Amino acid sequence: MTFKQTSSFHSNELRERMKIDALAQFKFFKRSLSSDGGFASLSREGNVRVGEAQELITTTRLVHSYALGKLAGVEGCDDIIDAGMKALWENHRDKVNGGYIWSFTPDGMVETDKLAYGHMFVLLATSSAKIVGHPDADRLLDDVSEVITDRFWDEKAGLMHDEFRRDWTSFSDYRGMNANMHGVEAHLSAFEVTGKQVYLDCAQRILSFFVDKIGASRDWRLAEHYTSDWKVDAAYEGDPMFRPKGTTPGHSFELGRLAIQAWDLGGRKDDGAVAKARALIETALKDAWRPNGGFAYTLDFDGNINVSDRYWWPVTEAIGAVATLLKLGGTEADQVWYDKLWDFAFECFVDSEHGGWIPEIDDDNLPCEKQFIGKPDIYHALQADLFPLHDGVSRHYEGIKGILKL
């Protein structure tokens, strides 16, 4: 296959492999669309896993990813986008109380709590749907933006509340970085699509807290969990996937990349922004890389390993973060890291037989299923394939247009 040529820090061979992998992911995850218009979870081989509720994170990430595919020139993305947008409006959206529930089945709602984490992905998905001209994008984008502003956004703190019951009663004082980080991602995307300054302002306020206050004061290691008044809750330990104890180095890669994106969109006014983002990224690379490759999932506050398990998504986020540094000139060490990350990804995570990435490996670098059953999503790995291939550190929608056309 011959593709359009892009960023200069890739070899021709790597560039081709990334694009071929992206196309394989689109082919694999297209099987998620059921005959009834819902989205099914998939096994490692791509078989439908029956009897599972459709989660908000599945709906939104598929909409976002296939909108990226449509922009990139992939044929046949509309069915997934249409089904996801319909599910958001008709099934996830709470017509009584407003907001978006976590999961449903054909029989009705299942998990009905309203989570900031999920709403940030609704904003991301509807922004991506808008850029490809979906007819329902504007009403969903307006609706979720209003919900986020009215229910989750804490204007005084400049940060997001995390969770409510279906009727918006409070049941927790928990505050967390994860939802806020994805809030940055979603609000930057909404700004790129709409040009409305309020989205960029929101993202920049969140970044100011986590980068300038938390990162800078804690040796560039980001605390995940906080009390209601935004003090670090060092003892907190929740869901082992979404709220593990300690720090999550994969989020440092992600936040570092997003901080550079926001700096670029904001006119590059902060002369120290790139250095601070680099500090987050390099600290996580140094602390979390294991001798046999991959990143330990969690660390303590001094950078020592807590949970040594290795998942695909921190590798994808490190790829995106280091690529962003390379786009700004980078260093020889950045190039070494970038090539090493891709070598490891293709050796241990990219499933060249079936498509998609294997989400988890054991101590022998072999696939395992301790935390993740099947292949949970396309979103992380797809962005690792696509975003590094254009020259910009922001404006990804514009940058990837036509990039997968043969």
Which residues are known catalytic residues?
251, 380
For the chain, how are helix, strand and coil distributed in percent, rounded to 5? Answer: 50, 10, 40
Query: What's the chain's length in residues?
Result: 406
Among candidate residues 339, 348, 363, the one with its CA nearest the CA of residue 312: 348
Among candidate residues 259, 233, 261, the one with its CA nearest the CA of residue 247: 233
Spell out the residues 6+ positions from residue 397 whose beta carbon is closer than 8 angstroms to its own: 68, 71, 128, 131, 189, 192, 193
Count of CB atoms situated within 10 Å of the CB of 107: 7
- Report the alpha-carbon distance of residue 243 to residue 255 in Å, rounded: 17
Question: What phi, psi does 159 have (nearest 5°)?
Answer: -145, 175
- Report the alpha-carbon distance of residue 67 to residue 125 in Å, rounded: 8
Count Cβ atoms within 10 A of the Cβ of residue 106 and give its class: 0-12 exposed, 13-18 middle, 19 or more buried. Answer: exposed
Spell out the residues 6+ positions from residue 5 whose beta carbon is closer than 8 angstroms to its own: 12, 15
- Report the alpha-carbon distance of residue 259 to residue 328 in Å, rounded: 13
Spell out the residues 6+ positions from residue 104 whose beta carbon is closer than 8 angstroms to its own: 53, 54, 91, 92, 110
- Report the alpha-carbon distance of residue 9 to residue 390 in Å, rounded: 11
Spell out the residues 6+ positions from residue 208 whose beta carbon is closer than 8 angstroms to its own: 158
For 292-309, the DSSP string reads TSSB-SEE-TTS-EEE--
